[in-house]
Amino acid sequence: MNHKIKLKGTLRTYLRWPLFLTALLVIADIHMYTVNPRAGLVGAAYSLLFVLAALMIFFTGRKGVQRDLVQFAQNYASLQMKMMQEMALPFAVLSVDGHLLWGNDDFVKIVVNKKAARRNIANIFPEITQDKLPEGNEDVMIHVTNGEKAYRAVLRKIQATQMAQKDGEKGLIMDQLVDDETFIVMFLYDETDMLALIRAREAENLMVGLLYIDNYDEMLSSIDDVRQSLLSALIERRINKYMQEIDAISKKLEKDKFLFVFKQKYLDELKNDRFSILEEVRAINIGNDQTCTISIGIGLGHGSFTERYEWARAAMDLALGRGGDQAVIKNGDNEEFYGGKRVQIERNTRVKARVKAHALKEQIEGKERVIVMGHSIGDVDSFGASVGIYRIAHSLARRAHIVLGDCDSSVKQLQERFYTKEYEADMIVDGDTAKELMDDNTLLVIVDVNKANYTECPELIDMAQSVVVIDHHRQAGKAIDKAVLFYIEPYASSASEMVAEISQYIGSGLKLRPAEAEAMYAGVMLDTNCFTDKIGARTFEAMAYLRRSGADVVRIRKLFREDIEEYRIRAEAIRNTEIYLDGYAIAVSGTENVESPTVLGAKIANSLLDIKGVKASFVLTDYNKRVYISARSIDEVNVQVMMERLGGGGHINMAGAQLTDCSVDAAKEVIRQMLDKMIADGDIV
């Protein structure tokens, strides 16, 4: 038998120890011979016998030792394989491509369909995709499911050395070493019970909520003293009954504010009935003209109770910033919105405007310079509001600059009136110039937008130390973190109206010039569609103030006239309008030879509402490698909720969104699918 196995290490040394001892005996014999020659010869004879016996044992016994070692290895390998095969932990060996090569008994019981697993383990566990397989020496952990069972899969990349075996004429021969090959070993740990316990624990987790009555003072002031107590009692009774249904502990903090704590397991019930308390409180009526609305903010998460309370406060701020009459659930950076489908109730009191005006005055006086910017592709409203802030800053003896880039034709006509000796040459600057002017003593005021990435120059927000946001669009998602003053009033018609109100409380001898008053007046006209949408008593009060300041209505009307080419494009878009589901108009606006395509799209959307039976209109404009969506409605549909689903926002009856890497046809399909889903979910009827 041609053995190619070589004994190494300690075992080889142990088998050769008689040969090493022979050298010691030879040295002893030499020493004995020098003392007594006869004794040395006798010792040499015995040493020779020892050497012969040792050699015979070494050469004849070596084969037996090797045979026993091979047998032991076989038995050990069989025992090891049997242990792996019967191991209680599911274990498998995969190829580097994810194909199943071998699995123990418990793993096969889970897999069942071994043929599919051999093609790829993803056929059994879809979570284990090719890009999630381990590439380096670090283990990869993936949570997978199979039926009702949940597992934690741990995948490890290993190098396996195999010994090729073949049968020889006289027994087992191990004659060659196969090169290292790479495999992936996978362990499955059943975590079904653990996850069930986690879910049970989370269900008992306490959540913090806040409930505010939006218009408590205004509502009570609209009825006589006798019915005020009755109305308050009815509202509190409805709120307390709702809290009892979810086993909540509630505490009245103020006359119109409640704090409540409840178990997380009831949250799904609240979501499923879409916070019916909103509708129930709104239905309370004892003959007063105003409708009662409430806002709810809930903090969800695994943090401390203090963190959950802070999240609940942030959720409430977000709900109020979106106009109230809705519920917001906040979990860290994630928010969910419910309700808020109706037009916000205008607040007759101007206390908030006065407070914000004083706060803005303090911020401006604390800086040396003010930079004002609106949203990208500025319109008349953002420009008018910017001009108003510019005048406020100048009345406080501060230099001011308006950031303006691409804008519509109406803005350009207004803009020309400010290139006179009455105004500084650097009153209107571009984004690059504004970056150079920005320093620690500069206040950045953002108007007519509350999303950082929609502003004219988002980089300015990162550079600014202090930011003020003044907007009339409902807030969606995370606010601008650096905002030291956040003034959002969704019920306001426009940002220009808000700035006009603020201007009246600034003091310091502020007086608008005619050009400034006309810019702000035009902004209100644009966002109200010539005083037909979103107007209230305070809107006309602001208009009266602007008229007294010298706004020329005739000049403003001429400002909004269209050229013949835009009129033809608008007529063509209306002619080719698609009426989807008998109530939703979808049209495409042309952009060729149009100076302000997005503004034209908004005009077309407004025009489509004049068609009988149209609940909402959506106009798509392909411009600057984006598809701009202008959405409009009158009172039947909340287009702001729709546009939020597409990453946009706005008002209940006036909103928009932008789609990138999308064609016009694809955008149409997105709108159709959105409408289908909202109708199926019951969000619109």
In the chain, domain spans: 9-85, 87-198, 204-339, 351-559, 564-681
Q: Which residues contact 339 (CB under 8 A, 6 or more apart)?
A: 274, 275, 278, 325, 326, 327
* Confidence at 11, pLDDT banded by 50, 70, 90: low
The pLDDT of residue 519 is 95
Q: Is 146 left (phi over 0), alpha (psi -120 to 50) or beta?
A: beta
Q: Which fold has domain 351-559?
A: inorganic pyrophosphatase (n-terminal core) (3.90.1640)
**Per-residue pLDDT averaged across 151-175, rounded?**
56
Please give the single-letter amino acid code of residue 238. Answer: R
Domain 87-198 has CATH 1.20.120.160: no
Taking the domain 564-681, which CATH number applies?
A: 3.10.310.30
Torsion from C-alpha of 139, 141, 145, 151, nearest 10 degrees: 80
For 633-671, give the DSSP string. ESSS--HHHHHHHTT-EE-SSEEEEEEES--HHHHHHHH
- Do 523 and 383 contact (CB within 8 A), yes or no? yes
Picking from 44-53, 121-130, 626-635, 666-675, which range would have the lowest pLDDT averaged per residue?
A: 44-53
Identify the residue with better confidence: 110 or 667. Answer: 667
pLDDT tens digits, 267-286: 999 998 889 999 999 888 87
Is this structure's pTM higher than 0.75?
no
Taking the domain 204-339, which CATH number applies?
A: 3.30.70.270
Q: How far is CA 423 from CA 406, 415, 420, 427, 548, in A?
A: 21, 11, 6, 7, 21
Cα gap 346→293, rounded to integer Å:
12
* Confidence at 163, pLDDT banded by 50, 70, 90: very low
The pLDDT of residue 81 is 65
Cα gap 668→565, rounded to integer Å:
25
Q: In what order do the strands lie in the sheet with 442-447?
A: 428-429, 399-403, 369-373, 442-447, 466-471, 483-488
Q: What percent of the chain has pLDDT over 70?
A: 88
Residue 125 CA from chain centroid, whole number: 27
CB atoms within 10 A of CB 80: 10
Tokens of 163: 């010994």
Instruction: Sort 488 into a burial class: Cβ within 10 Å, 0-12 / 13-18 / 19+.
Output: buried
Picking from 163-172, 300-309, 626-635, which range would have the lowest pLDDT averaged per residue?
A: 163-172
Cα gap 432→422, rounded to integer Å:
24
Cα gap 261→247, rounded to integer Å:
9
Cα gap 618→579, rounded to integer Å:
10
Cα gap 661→89, rounded to integer Å:
47
The answer, yes or no, to whether residue 170 has pLDDT greater than 70, is no
The pLDDT of residue 164 is 36
Tokens of 551: 């706004």
Query: Do β-strands 649-650 and 654-660 pair in parallel, antiparallel, or remain unpaired?
Result: antiparallel
- Do 577 and 608 contact (CB within 8 A), yes or no? yes
CB atoms within 10 A of CB 246: 18
Picking from 90-94, 236-240, 283-287, which range would have the lowest pLDDT averaged per residue?
A: 283-287
Q: Which of 52-66, 331-345, 363-377, 551-565 has the highest mean pLDDT?
A: 363-377
Cα gap 666→662, rounded to integer Å:
6
The pLDDT of residue 289 is 65
The answer, yes or no, to whether residue 663 has pLDDT greater than 80, is yes
Picking from 126-140, 282-296, 306-320, 392-406, which range would have the lowest pLDDT averaged per residue?
A: 282-296
Tokens of 621: 């404009």
